[in-house]
Homo-oligomer: A and B are copies of this chain.
Amino acid sequence: MSLQTKVSEKENANQKVKRIHSNDLESLWRTIRDEVKLRADFEPIMSTFFYATVLNHNSFEGALSFLLASKLDSPVVSSMAIREIIEEAYQADPTIIFAAETDIKAVRERDPACKSFSTPFLFFKGFHAIQGHRIANWLWNNDRHSLAFYFQNQMSEKFGVDIHPAANIGQGIMFDHATGIVVGETTTIEDGVTMLHGVTLGGTGKDRGDRHPKIRKGVLIGASASIIGNIEIGEGAKVGAGSVVMENVPAQVTVAGVPAKIVGKLSGAYPAEEVDQKF
């Protein structure tokens, strides 16, 4: 498939995505604004933060680019310059925004300690890290590798989350707590996955080819679990906390242990949505 064709297909996909999501996004944006307005009234010592980040903007993406830029700047690249890069990415590929929308809803639904949409938006570094990666990935795909590595390093220092810019990450993703997460270069994470802190999606050895895990839809990966090598974790599977997985895992099973073995079968909702790390 030629690059030209790929670009056209992507454009078509974007249009379609845009039609479907836009009403929802507008509604999410209004909800976040309402929540943040209450916060600003209640905690005036943080009021400038709430206004500058959210209430001054008339779109979700305006608020998100502002927030991310304030997290990812450094003496190397200023917040204003970072923000322009983020806005460029959003314009070139609007699916990044819709993915953020889906992510934020996923956190709201799955995390019982999260009782609003504005809490992950403003305060969860797992959400911030995924959104930062989406920009780094866009830069990488546009051959801006130095800037992509800057984003990776900045997020590794700031959030303790180390995602190679080339990694392929879907929508509706939750990185809960997030400290210590590592995602390798040739990893794929499909839609609707939940990963806890300390999870490794690592490679094997020095082969330069495809060497990292493929995580299928709806998978739940418990805290401090390691998944190593170009293996597949099947749709709706669960990896127990502290486990080490080095072989393919079928769909809808629970694996656990070091090394991990199948310890149970699953049915019903995706475990990523239930977020029960027990096995």
Q: How far is the CA of A124 from the CA of B154 in the complex (A)?
A: 10
Q: Of the listed stretches A9-17, A18-26, A51-59, name the one at the interface; the rest are far from the partner chain.
A: A51-59
Residue contact B277 to A204, C-beta cutoff 8 Å: yes
Cα A258 to Cα B206 in complex, Å, equals 26
In-complex Cβ contact of A241 among B79, B85, B110, B200 (8 A): B200
What's the number of copies of this chain in the assembled complex? Answer: 6
Q: Which listed residue, B110, B180, B258, B273, touches A198 by the CB 8 Å rule? A: B180
Bound form: Cα–Cα A177–B226 in Å: 14
User: Which among B56, B80, B160 is the interface contact of A52 at CB below 8 angstroms?
Assistant: B80
When the two chains form their complex, are residues B49 and A45 in contact, meaning their CB atoms are under 8 A apart?
A: no
* Least Cβ–Cβ distance between A205 and chain B, in angstroms: 4
Q: Which A residues from 144 to 184 make CB contacts under 8 A with B?
A: 144, 146-147, 149-150, 152-153, 156-160, 162, 164, 177-180, 182, 184
Contacts of A202 in B (CB 8 A): 196, 223, 241, 277
List B contacts of A152 (CB < 8 A): 123
Q: Is A48 an interface residue when CB atoms closer than 8 A count as contact?
A: yes
User: Are B278 and A211 in contact, CB atoms less than 8 angstroms apart?
Assistant: no
